[in-house]
Amino acid sequence: MLNKCTFRLPRSPWLGALALIAAVASPSFSQYTFGPSMWLEPDTTCYQARPSIAIDSHGNPCVVWMTFFEGDIRFAKSTDGGDTFLPSVLVDTTNYILASPKLALDPEDNPHVTWTNLGINGQHLGIRQVRYTRSTDKGQSFLPSIYAMADTTGHHEATRKMILIR
């Protein structure tokens, strides 16, 4: 049996947390049945959006997402095919305003994350940079982030990011 997961947001985009719904495919792959909704992040006071998902070598989903008001990027993973998730981990601890994360897993199932930095110390500066970090312990913690691409002129915003691990 193949486990699949999909994300949905609550009806009000300004209230509620990112919810995960587990969908289990039948052996014929002709029909999906959905399990009960579960909150991926229990903090329901902050709008959480833009999830990026990757499946590890054991078929378990891993996900990163942004928190809209705090400007943080968080990571969570499942070890049971998506039935439950471990508590989320903060990906970057700087004072940057972070948005639109992308996730990839390397062959050892370590997460690699890129995102757009929209400003520094809570202020939008009009200059956007793409940042990168990775974990060496399968997502329990993350290394300090680095600039993957920066536009210091303000003329060409660095916002498009993609990550590919070989």
Q: Which distant-in-sequence residues (6+ apart) come within 8 Å of 147 by Cβ?
A: 129, 130, 131, 132
Lowest-pLDDT choice from 16-20, 57-61, 98-102, 133-137: 16-20
Residue 23 DSSP class: E
Decide if 7 is inside a domain: no
Question: Residues 13-67: pLDDT tens digits?
Answer: 444 445 544 444 444 455 666 666 677 776 666 677 788 889 999 999 899 988 8
State the CATH number of the domain containing residue 77.
2.115.10.20
Decide if 47 is inside a domain: yes
CB 65 within 8 A of CB 91: no
Range of the domain at 99: 43-150
pTM: 0.76
Q: Report which of 108, 4, 100 is spatially closest to residue 60, judged by C-alpha positions.
A: 4
pLDDT above 60 for 139: yes
Decide if 157 is inside a domain: no
Q: Report which of 162, 163, 164, 109 is spatially closest to residue 139, judged by C-alpha positions.
A: 109
